[in-house]
Structure 1
Amino acid sequence: MISKTPFVSFLILSILVLSCNETPKTTASLLIYGGPIYTVDSIQPMVEAVAVKENKILFVGSLADAEKYKGDITKVIDLKGRTMAPGLIEGHGHFMGLGYNELNLDLMNTKSYQEIVDAVAEQVKKVAPGEWITGRGWHQSKWEEMPSDTVNGFQTHDLLSEVSPDNPVYLRHASGHAGFANAKAMEIAGVLELSKDGVDKLEVEGGEVMRDGLGRPTGIFNERAMSLITQHIPETTPEKNIQAFKLAIKACHENGITGFHDAGIGKETIELYNQMKSEGEMNVRMYAMLTGWDKELLKDWYAKGPSIDEDNLFTIRSVKLNCDGALGSRGAWLLEEYTDRPGHFGHETLPMEFVKETALNGLQHGFQVCSHAIGDRANKEILDRYEAAFTELPEMAENHRFRIEHAQHLHPDDIPRFAQLQVIPAMQAVHMSSDRPWAIDRLGEKRIKEGAYMWQSLLKSGIPIVNGTDVPVEPLNPIASLYASFTRKTLKGTPEGGYEPEQKMTREQALRSYTLDAAYGAFEEEIKGSISPGKLADFTIYNQDLMTVPEDDFLGTEIDMTIFNGKVVYDKSK
């Protein structure tokens, strides 16, 4: 009797071969090929092609295999040598601030006090007497020349007040941690003259009103003292909010940003975002942090718990705490006095007991805690409070992913604590590029070299870094922040070799910090951050290869196309 086994084996083999050659039943809606595709996926870091079905990645691999998913409805994008990578995630920014920077005075590129005065003088011609003029972006340490009349390294209001006698003016520092007001604004706030009733209105806990030698306010309001002026600025309108929102979306797409970690929003902004989502306008993946200033807001959210959007468009599961100021305004909270202002240690802008309380609440109610800390004392104090909370509630502290936003200046003893406690540093590399030339004046060489912008030390310790720009503190441009990440140079290409070059990221680490590690920082690494089958179809396409372009040419990199949710939302050629 003849055995049937060989025949059966042949039949099965034939079926397998035929099935491998068949076109898959699933047809892709989008096929992309024709250039380097960096996946940020360790299994296959670089591929030839990607197939997408609606808003999910269907296939990643060779072009020959990807073409099996091609059908009559498939849209094809030929990269023509351009480079594609996962959609970029702004890991720490202020979304509405980005939009409002488009509507108000943008002082980001001003190089002197006189340029600010001139910009305000022009604006005075366009507005009615009595109307507020607001703006943001000036930074005295970046000016090419300083005015002759300064107090503690800052300009005084006199020249500004001369050109705007009938309009209150308030201009935020680039850092957002100080403000500059003219005489009219201070008159409205009742702080122009010293109090006649013996009560000093210029003393503010957690803040500072700069004064001249006669005790008069100079116009500079630092940290919590800013509220003396800002409480008098009229609220915006719903129409203007929507306009700013749409401008911010447009700016994200033009910069290849498909995800955004919004660092601190309140009730009104939450309502706006929900409205924009319902109207189909939420065309960026928003990961929002509740502002820690509003205790009633936090209480309400603790009661109902996190909101994790099944559409992956607007998620709230974290709290933002503002615990100190910025180096530029000398508000960062330091363990030792400022090198360029003896006797001054910066400001604790939020009581540390509230950090501990929030950490415990976060663990109990499922919220990540993200604390702003720039100075070494602020970082140490927050790590101490986090650790105390983890020790008190160990069963709830697994996979907490608490963050410190900025982590700009650390005491050497605290660097390994991030990995030990699994606290994620969200660090904006472009801050090093902008701040390092003058930050050494604030901290001195020893503190700079031992503890400032310690990217590689943190990465080697075993903790990921979330990158970004802190927009509108810095422009949203991710190319500048990526460049700063692996060169540690200013955007002018100095110094040769970079500042503290041992702390440079590699190009691969830099890209990961803007994609997969940023997704991890929001509990979203399973759905985005790499080009992997099943993940969301968000991609950024560049005009040149991020990994191979010479360093000197890197800043010439442009965003050619942004794909969000499987659809092209920005095309530079159109």
Structure 2
Amino acid sequence: MKLNQKTLTVYLFSVLLIFSCSQEKERVTADIIIEGGTIYTMDANQPQVEAVAVKEDKIIFAGRLKMAEKYKGDSTQVVDLHGKTMTPGLIEGHGHFMGLGYNELNLNLIDVKSYDELVERVKEAVAKAQPGQWITGRGWHQSKWTPAPEPSVKGFQTHHKLSKISPDNPVFLRHASGHAGFANVKAMEIAGVLQMSNESMKANDVEGGEIIRDELGNPTGIFNETAMRLIAQHIPQTTPEKDRQALEMAIKACHAQGITSFHDAGVGKEHISLFKAAKEKGTLGVRLYVMLTGWDRALLDEWYKKGPEIDTVDHLLTIRSVKLNCDGALGSRGAWLLEEYTDRPGHFGHETLPMEFVYETAQKALKSGFQVCSHAIGDRANKEILDRYEKAFKENSEAAVNHRFRIEHAQHLHSDDIPRFAALGVIPAMQAIHMSSDRPWAIDRLGEKRIKEGAYVWQELLKSGSRIINGTDVPVEPINPIACFYASVSRKTLEGSPEGGYEPEQKMTREQALRSYTLDAAYGAFEESIKGSIEEGKLADFTILSQDIMSVPEEDLLKTTVEMTIVGGNIVYSKVDL
């Protein structure tokens, strides 16, 4: 059948109309388009883009501004960066989420500069407290005090000044590292650890820890590593209301610092329940990657049986790893060393968890689908753990194909063990800010040779093929990622010393430092396919900064502020209207 010209024209018009309507119907419009600034993607195929379009909680476009216009609809919100800088949402690679919140509720001593100042802070708290009420806090660090405390025993202050101003209130203050505690007389009376005979002294010290005592055998108030439990077990448990407040404060603090995801290093049953309840209510505004605490063996056995919980829907709460605390910290001389401490001859630190349990855990974790994340700061702890991991990998070769086991901190390594991380596929989760805070006094603990050959050796690990996960170990350090980024690329204290940085050959490049807070941190949680870079299909998590941290002069980096935080396409924090 032949169509005349008029019929053909009508037919073609109808086809075009139908096609046009179909195209209009299928056109995807964005909920939000972000443009007008410098956008770093961490995507090797296009490291920078001009605009990003988001639909619901996913990125639907990242590229040229002109191309982003097609995603703009009547209801699309446009965020103009006004020249500011956007990165993928920053990931805290090792911290203690509830510790962050509790630090706001209890005495925060992280900025205390002397023993006398600590005493004054406690005195103020005592004045507000009821008689008999426990006073707790965290953050003191004797090696950072000026002047050094006098008298001192084994490098630590004694309790006498503290006890004098708090006769009716038990006081227990955790070291900044969390690996030592400082108690007054009242707390020690309650715990039953005062003035004991030699035999009872031996009975009261615990494996993996130490009660620091004076020359007469009396406790000085310092309880190192596992000995802290002697006091801590008497502190009244927290309340559900206080837990809820701490959770809210932790979420708020993360948002204000541009943190969109958080690797929570050691969580018990109660806090897991708290996180789940918050997720159900829609108030868990930070994506949590949870490590089960290795202190609770019954908890681990329970999870080995049921397996990991991987949140593939909301990507808010995943539980698939185990945290083991295997030694202490350098600050408290608890890190487990191959050679004695330079400033405490004959002392090698503490093995706070039997290495047989590390091996046993690695075996069970591989068989049940869990990752193992072991705390190790000293070179001996790192070596011993790598040995146990390697044995478990060889004996479970199929399950170990993509294990992504981690060592948390990996702060001081023997030179022979540095290449073993990449060779075994073990991820070093390191906190650059620890170098900035600790390096001025860490040389006293280890001596110059060990510092230069194996302490905070980021670049050496990276060159050997390792991926480094960065973070702050909050509340050991403030959660500020800018300070940690600065430490990563400068290797200086936050005051800007020394000129050129400590062991400058170990500095990260700015790209490496940003990767350690984004894509490599995501890799450390098996999440690089859904976060860590700005790519189509990934979660719409972004951090917006006041200036370009990839190009501003080093001396200006610490002036950078977080201007906005976006989680799943929702603006959860904004310093100013953009």
TM range (shorter): over 0.9
Match of 1:231 in 2: 233
1:120 equivalent in structure 2: 122
CA distance in 1: counterparts of 2:421 and 2:525, whole angstroms:
17
Cα contact 2:142–2:149 (8 A) shared by 1: no
Q: In the alignment, which residue of structure 2 is the partner of 1:289?
A: 291
Unaligned runs of 5+ in 1: 1-13
CA gap of 1:199–1:160, structure 2 versus 1, over 3 A, is closer
How far apart, CA to CA, are the structure 1 residues paired with 2:114 and 2:69?
57
Question: In the alignment, which of 450, 460, 484 is matched to residue 463 of structure 2?
Answer: 460
Equivalent position SS for 2:204: coil
Matched, 1:445 2:448: yes
Distance in 2 of aligned mates of 1:227 and 1:199: 15
d(CA) in 2 for partners of 1:201 and 1:117? 31
Q: Does 1:35 align with 2:37?
A: yes
For the 8 Å contact 2:38–2:50, the answer to whether it is kept is yes
The yes-or-no answer on 1:384 pairing with 2:379 is: no
Matched position secondary structure for 2:222? strand
Aligned residue number for residue 244 of structure 1: 246
Question: Offset of 1:281 from its aligned partner?
Answer: 1.0
Alpha-carbon offset, residue 463 of structure 1? 1.3
Q: How many angstroms does 1:92 deviate by?
A: 0.1
Q: Which amino acid aligns with 1:191?
A: V
How far apart, CA to CA, are the structure 2 residues paired with 1:233 and 1:22? Answer: 65
Q: Counterpart in 2 of 1:330? A: 333
Kindly indicate whether residue 189 of structure 2 is the aligned counterpart of residue 187 of structure 1.
yes
SS of the residue aligned with 1:396?
A: coil
Provide the rounded CA distance (Å) in 1 between the counterparts of 2:189 and 2:437. Answer: 34
8 Å CA contact retained: 1:540, 1:559 = yes
2:128 aligned counterpart, secondary structure: coil
Q: Which region of structure 1 is more displaced relative to structure 2, 109-118 or 199-208?
A: 199-208
Change (3 A) 1:216 1:508: same
Partner of 1:6: none
CA distance in 1 between partners of 2:165 and 2:87 (Å) = 49
Q: Deviations over 1:423-470 (max 9, x none)?
A: 000000000000000000000000000000010111111110000000
Q: Is the 8 A contact 1:133 1:167 kept in 2?
A: yes
Letter in 2 for 1:384: D
Change (3 A) 1:349 1:66: same
If the length of structure 1 is used for normalisation, what is the TM-score?
0.96
CA contact (8 A) 1:429 1:469 kept: yes
- SS state of the match for residue 395, structure 1? coil
Q: What residue is the counterpart of 1:356 in the other structure?
A: 359
CA positional deviation for 1:196: 8.8
What is the CA distance between 1:279 and its match in structure 2? 1.0
**Aligned-residue offset at 1:202:** 3.2
CA contact (8 A) 1:194 1:200 kept: no
CA contact (8 A) 1:308 1:317 kept: yes
Per-residue deviation, residues 248-288 of structure 1 (Å, max 9, x unmatched): 00000000000000000011111111111111111100000
Q: Judge conservation of contact 1:325–1:333 (CA < 8 Å) in 2.
A: yes
Contact 1:89 1:519 in 2 (8 A): yes
Larger deviation: 146-155 or 319-328? 146-155
> Residue 203 of structure 1: CA displacement?
1.8
Structure 1 residue 193: Cα displacement: 2.1
Letter in 1 for 2:487: A
The answer as to whether partners of 1:94 and 1:472 remain within 8 angstroms in 2 is yes
CA positional deviation for 1:147: 2.3
Superposition pairs of residues 36-115 of structure 1, within 5 angstroms: 36-115=38-117
1:24 Cα deviation from its structure 2 partner: 6.9
Q: How far, CA to CA, are the matches of 1:284 and 1:534 in structure 2?
A: 19
**Following the alignment from structure 1 to structure 2, what is the Cα–Cα distance between the partners of residues 572 and 397?**
45
Q: 1-side partners of 2:121 and 2:230: how far apart?
A: 24
Q: 1:191·1:201 contact (CA, 8 Å) conserved in 2?
A: no
> Taking structure 1 as reference, are residues 547 and 199 closer, same or farther at Cα in structure 2, changes over 3 Å only?
closer
- The Cα RMSD (Å) is 1.8
| Gap runs ≥5 in structure 2 | 1-15
What is the aligned counterpart of 2:490 among 469, 487, 490?
487
Displacement of 1:220 = 0.2
Provide the rounded CA distance (Å) in 2 between the counterparts of 1:481 and 1:183. Answer: 37
Number of corresponding residues: 561
Deviations 1:359-391 (A, max 9, x none): 001110000000000000000000000000001
Q: Does 1:510 align with 2:513?
A: yes
Q: Is the 8 A contact 1:360 1:389 kept in 2?
A: yes
* Mapped contact 2:195–2:217 kept (Cα < 8 A): no
Give the % identical residues: 72
User: How far does residue 144 in structure 1 lie from its aligned partner after superposition?
Assistant: 1.7
Partner AA of 1:89 in structure 2: I
Q: CA deviation at 1:204?
A: 1.1
1:383-427, CA deviations, whole angstroms, 9 ceiling, x for partnerless residues? 000000001111111010000000000000000000000000000
CA shift digits 1:321-352 (9 cap, x unpaired): 00000000000000000000000000000000
**Which whole-Å deviations, capped at 9, do the CAs of 1:146-177 have from their partners, x for residues lacking one?**
12200011000000000000000000000000
Amino acid at match of 1:507: R
Answer yes or no: is 1:564 the counterpart of 2:567: yes
| Counterpart residue type for residue 417 of structure 1 | R
Q: Determine helix, strand or coil for the equivalent of 1:394.
A: coil
CA distance in 1, matches of 2:182, 2:451: 28
* 8 A Cα contact 2:42 2:533, kept in partner: yes
Distance across 2 between alignment mates of 1:395 and 1:467: 29
Q: Are the counterparts in 2 of residues 23 and 68 from structure 1 also a CA contact under 8 Å?
A: no
The verdict on how the C-alpha distance between 1:414 and 1:238 changes in structure 2, with shifts beyond 3 A counting, is same
Distance 1:198 1:92, change over 3 A: closer
- Residue 149 of structure 1: which of 151, 159, 162 is its match? 151
**Does the CA-based 8 Å contact 1:24-1:69 persist in structure 2?**
no
The answer as to whether partners of 1:323 and 1:373 remain within 8 angstroms in 2 is yes
**Contact 1:405/1:426 (CA < 8 Å) preserved in 2?**
yes
**Which residue does 1:214 correspond to in 2?**
216
User: What CA distance in whole angstroms lies between the structure 2 residues aligned with 1:234 and 1:560?
Assistant: 39
How far apart are 1:23 and its partner, in Å?
10
Tell me, yes or no, if the aligned pair for 1:34 and 1:48 is still in contact at 8 Å: yes
- Alpha-carbon spacing, 1:564–1:208, altered in 2? closer, same or farther (3 Å): same
**Counterpart residue type for residue 205 of structure 1:** E
